[in-house]
Amino acid sequence: MSTAARAWVREALRRIEADAQRSADTHLIPLRLPGFAGIDLYLKDESSHPSGSLKHRLARSLFLHALSSGWLREGSTVVESSSGSTAVSEAYFARLVGLPFVAVMPRTTSPQKIAAIEFQGGRCHLVDDPRAIYAESARLAGELGGHYMDQFTMAERATDWRANNNIAESVYAQMRLEPHPCPAWIVAAAGTGGTLATIGRYVRYARHATRVCGVDPERSVFFDAYVQRDRGLTCEAGSRIEGIGRPRVEASFLPDAIDAMVKVPDVWSLAAMHALADRLGRPVGGSTGTNLIAVLACASAMASAGQRGAIVTLLCDGGERYRQTCYDRDWLVTQGLACDAERAAIDAAIDSGRIPDMLAGAWRLAGDLKG
């Protein structure tokens, strides 16, 4: 590599480190569960990152990894296959280091997400078949002489699961003065699976007693892949909960680093999203609703065992992006996702500590949560 090329890489790395230096860590927000005495819930608010979601951490790791591996040079076009949040965050870092960015995504992606990527200086390349995003990204990167970042493969490789203020290390540091500094459960959903892999590895590496619970929405194969330990599973339709759920078992999904999983029907994810938005006083994304349902499964198991302790989950992104979809009543009805009854049942569950039969009959539990 020429001296000028090395200087460009050094400057790019400096800019990313300077950005991290300018940024504060994301908050850990307590949320009361009146019906579950002795069980404390905390939300790790990843929506407060400069690019608006938990993907800010992943995008930073992917750029540091690609720059340090010599895969990015001055003028390289960065290409990514993403349903949205990752592309918003990668566009942010591409602009920071002065590189063009192209996101390859399904044509069904919400206009708000496309606008958010373009606001960060990125370009969107839409495909009809959601399953074609991987091959099309690789093809486009080749055609442009650029680099395919490939979050689905690289997420678990690029993220430092031992330290460097990864999401898990940050949680334990922030829990230090709480009544239960070592959470009984950490709950997270999977898109690439990278966040769950980081949490699962860190918990084991740091020798914490915490158990890790993964969550899967409809139209996704992660739950069944976890139960059957079959990485060849696929499904037809793409997930309706943006950012999570996949039609194939992604390389960064590591079932052996997860202690339990919950399968959540979409109508319950969205009902929980609404319930949480009202209790927090601001909108959250659908995947955070999915997380809340699994939190109820963990809290219910702890209560049945007479166990006290803390549960931590992720507030993955803000709900502003979903005003014209998940927060629009007509859109919900049109999608067959009207959820008033489920919403009322979730409020009752949080306030009484009793899981309603309609939810107990709808979710699926696996691993340490399976009775």
User: How many CA atoms within 13 Å lie on the side-chain side of 121?
Assistant: 16
Q: Within its chain, how far is the Cα of 144 from the centroid?
A: 29
Contact indicator for 62, 90 with CB cutoff of 8 Å: yes
The residue (of 12 and 64) whose beta carbon lies closer to ligand PLP is: 64
Binding residues for ligand PLP, rule: CB under 6 A, are 53-55, 85-86, 155, 189-196, 243-244, 285, 287, 316-317
The residue (of 241 and 369) whose beta carbon lies closer to ligand PLP is: 241
Question: Which residue number is nearest to ligand PLP in terms of Cβ?
Answer: 243
User: Which has the closest alpha carbon to 158: 238, 246, 67, 244?
Assistant: 67
User: Minimum distance between the CB of residue 63 and ligand PLP, rounded to whole angstroms?
Assistant: 16
User: Minimum distance between the CB of residue 243 and ligand PLP, rounded to whole angstroms?
Assistant: 2
The residue (of 81 and 86) whose beta carbon lies closer to ligand PLP is: 86
User: Minimum distance between the CB of residue 361 and ligand PLP, rounded to whole angstroms?
Assistant: 26
The residue (of 266 and 317) whose beta carbon lies closer to ligand PLP is: 317
User: Minimum distance between the CB of residue 113 and ligand PLP, rounded to whole angstroms?
Assistant: 10
User: Minimum distance between the CB of residue 188 and ligand PLP, rounded to whole angstroms?
Assistant: 7
Cα distances (angstroms) measured from residue 191 to each of 155, 156, 318, 361 = 10, 12, 17, 25
User: Minimum distance between the CB of residue 348 and ligand PLP, rounded to whole angstroms?
Assistant: 26
Bridge pairing between strands 39-45 and 28-31: antiparallel
The residue (of 196 and 310) whose beta carbon lies closer to ligand PLP is: 196
Contact indicator for 359, 268 with CB cutoff of 8 Å: yes
Place of tokens 């009322």: 344
Q: Within its chain, how far is the Cα of 53 from the centroid?
A: 8
- d(Cα 340, Cα 320) in Å, to the nearest integer? 21
The residue (of 304 and 324) whose beta carbon lies closer to ligand PLP is: 324
